[in-house]
Structure 1
Amino acid sequence: MAHGVCEMLWLKRILEELRTPMAMPMRLYCDNKAAISITHNLVQHDRTKHVEIDRYFIKEKIEVRMIAMPFVPTAIQVADILTKGLFKSNFESLVSKLGMIDIYAPT
C-alpha cells in the first residue's frame, strides 16, 4: 500500500505541474480489511512491527485527507484477474469490465 500511495503522490505532482485539477482525497482501493484497519489504528501489534514506517506514512496521508482507503469486495476487484485463479463466472465478469475480447471467437 505504501508503494501505491507513493505512486499516487507522484501522479498528483505531475497533474499539478500540468495544472489539471484533481479530486481529493485520492482513493486507494483495497480488498484487505485487516490492512485497512492497521492503517487506521496505530495500536502496535507484534505482527505489524516490520511495516511500522509504512503504516505511519499511510496514516499521515489519511489524516490530512490526501488519500482515502475504501474497501472493495474481492468479487469486484479487477486486479484479481491477473493474480488469482477465479471461477468462470467471476473471470468472465472481470474480463468484460476490462473490455477484453476473445480474438479467437467465431464472428
Structure 2
Amino acid sequence: MELHCDKKSAIDVVHTPIQHDRTKHVEVDRHFVKEKIEKKIIRLPFIKSEDQLADILTKAVCGKVFYDSLTKLGIGDIYAAT
C-alpha cells in the first residue's frame, strides 16, 4: 500500500530511529508505521503538494485546485443535470 505524503519531514521522522522532542506525541504511531515500512506492507513516497489529491478532503483550497483534483479523481460535474 502506498501512502502518498507531501511533507518530507514526516517521511524522515518515520525513517529516522532518533526520537526528537517534537515527535513525542506521535511516538506510538511512528513505531507502528515504521514497523509496517520495514515489513514492506506500506510505502511512503513523496508527492508534490500540487499533486496531493487528498487536500480537497482535508483543507480549504481554491476553486481551480478543487476542480483540477476532481478531474484527476475522475469525478464529473456534480451539478450537471442527469
TM-score range, shorter chain: 0.7 to 0.9
TM-score scaled to structure 2, two decimals?
A: 0.80
Correspondence for 1:66: 41
TM-score when normalising by structure 1? 0.64
What's the counterpart of residue 39 of structure 1?
14
For structure 1, list consecutive stretches of 5 or more residues without a partner in the other structure. Answer: 1-25
**Larger Rg: 1 or 2?**
1
* 2:30 matches 1:55: yes
Q: Report % sequence identity.
A: 53
Structure 2 unaligned residues grouped into runs of 5+:
none
Aligned length: 81
Map of 1:85 onto structure 2:
60
Runs of at least 4 residues off by over 6 Å: none
Alpha-carbon RMSD across the aligned residues, in angstroms, is: 1.9
Q: 1:53-89: CA deviations, max 9, x gaps?
A: 2111211111122211101111111111122222333
Which one-letter code corresponds to 2:3 in the other structure? L
Q: Relative CO higher for 1 or 2, CA cutoff 8 Å, sep ≥ 6?
A: 2
